[in-house]
Amino acid sequence: MSDFTSNFWSIFVAGITLVSILACLLLLWFSGKARATTASDNTTGHVWDGDLREMNNPLPRWWAWLFVITIVFSFVYLALYPGLGTYAGKFGWTSAGQHQSEVDKGNAEVAPLYARFMSMKPEDVAKDAQAMAIGERLFMNNCSQCHGSDARGNKGFPNLTDNDWLGGGTPEIIKADITKGRIAIMPPMAAAVGTPDDVKNVAQYVLSLSGSPHDSVRAELGKPKFVVCAACHGADGKGNQTIGSANLTDKIWLHGYGEAAIVAMVNEGKTNRMPAQADKLTEAQIQVLASYVWGLSNKGGASSK
């Protein structure tokens, strides 16, 4: 209810709840007082199937008391737990708090296991079969939605099994990225590059940097205009991991391949965001997960990045 700017809906929900319970009380009271017109044999006069007659007997006492107990339980519940608009209840229970307590309990149970991994170097953790089994499950639960179950990524989501890292691929950097997240921005550069033809020429030059099929004449025309891009990607187009700019000389295309895809990037720019995981995972879990991710592209145990 805190998402609303007034307390109207809180009062509305509380009112509907109380009116519903009181309506149940009134229904019970009226059903006990009202008497249908009966025949001399204490039936209502309704007959089904020739001989099935409806009697006019009062409600069974156990049923009436069960109804009363249910209503009393409702009032007790609403006093102890949330149910009346923004009223939190005497216990202050919330589903978020319940979830967090269960998460904390689970983390406490596995803390001794993770303590061993925290005392190890990430490179050694990546060689530990038990740690990697845990890391795989952490990855499947928290990372595979974007990077894929095989960690090979998809359009717009990096492949974590190769040696191409925008911001660096050391265990320390991977751990920092998982903890704090990353925001990568390429601003629209069409106005700085020049005319639409200039943008297309730059796209051809970018294709030439990686030896991809390109128009050599237009690539030469685009080379002088590439100076605008060189501020981030470098004069040689190999990028800069410090600022997370892509290497344009390899044949890895994160956001699509070909002139049209490059032109779209120059014209429209791109903002990518990897969410921080520090509020979901413990430091020890991040340590194991980072080691797992590092190990995906370092099967031999030594980083080549």
pLDDT digits over 208-262, tens only?
A: 999 999 999 999 999 999 999 999 999 999 999 988 899 999 989 999 999 999 9
pLDDT at site 2: 54
pLDDT exceeds 50 at position 54: yes
249 is a domain residue = yes
pLDDT exceeds 50 at position 304: no
If you average pLDDT over residues 193-207, what whole number do you get?
95
The domain that holds 260 is classified in CATH as: 1.10.760.10
Tell me how far apart the alpha carbons of residues 288 and 236 are, in angstroms, rounded to a whole number: 36
pLDDT exceeds 60 at position 300: no
Centroid of chain to Cα 66:
44
> What are the angstrom distances between the C-alpha of 62 and each of 35, 54, 69, 191?
19, 21, 10, 81
Domain around 117? 101-181+275-296
The strand pairing partners of 240, in sequence order, are: 245
3-state DSSP call for residue 269?
coil
Tell me how far apart the alpha carbons of residues 160 and 151 are, in angstroms, rounded to a whole number: 5
DSSP string, 149-177: TTS--BTTB--SSSS--SS--SHHHHHHH
If you average pLDDT over residues 258-279, what whole number do you get?
94
pLDDT at site 303: 38
pLDDT exceeds 60 at position 4: no
3-state DSSP call for residue 44?
strand
Q: Which of 176, 169, 152 is nearest to 254 (CA)?
A: 152
What is the pLDDT of the chain when averaged over all its residues?
A: 89
> What are the angstrom distances between the C-alpha of 234 and each of 52, 82, 259?
93, 58, 20
Note whether 192 and 262 are same-domain residues: yes
Supply angle C-alpha 134, 135, 138, rounded to 5.
90
Q: Residue 39's pLDDT band (boundaries 50, 70, 90)?
A: low
pLDDT at site 52: 84
Note whether 25 and 130 are same-domain residues: no
pLDDT at site 53: 78
254 is a domain residue = yes
If you average pLDDT over residues 42-48, what whole number do you get?
76
pLDDT at site 6: 74
Token pair listed for 266? 């120059």
Tell me how far apart the alpha carbons of residues 290 and 118 are, in angstroms, rounded to a whole number: 12
Note whether 114 and 142 are same-domain residues: yes
Note whether 46 and 59 are same-domain residues: yes
Tell me how far apart the alpha carbons of residues 267 and 264 are, in angstroms, rounded to a whole number: 5
Note whether 192 and 236 are same-domain residues: yes
199 is a domain residue = yes
86 is a domain residue = no
Quote the DSSP letter at residue 153.
-
pLDDT exceeds 90 at position 19: yes
pTM beyond 0.85: no
**Beta carbons of 291 and 133 less than 8 angstroms apart:** no
Per mean pLDDT, which range of 4-8, 99-103, 130-134 is the poorest? 4-8
Tell me how far apart the alpha carbons of residues 43 and 39 are, in angstroms, rounded to a whole number: 5
Q: Which of 215, 195, 196 is nearest to 205 (CA)?
A: 215
219 is a domain residue = yes
pLDDT at site 80: 94
301 is a domain residue = no
Note whether 136 and 190 are same-domain residues: no
Q: What stretches of the chain show up as alpha helix (H) in DSSP?
A: 8-33, 61-80, 95-118, 122-125, 129-142, 144-147, 171-180, 190-193, 196-209, 216-222, 227-233, 259-268, 283-296
The residue out of 80, 114, 131 marking a domain boundary is 80
Give the chain's domain count: 3
pLDDT digits (tens, 9 = 90+) for 115-138: 889 989 999 999 999 999 999 999
Note whether 60 and 108 are same-domain residues: no
If you average pLDDT over residues 263-290, what whole number do you get?
93
Q: Residue 34's pLDDT band (boundaries 50, 70, 90)?
A: low
Tell me how far apart the alpha carbons of residues 126 and 49 are, in angstroms, rounded to a whole number: 77
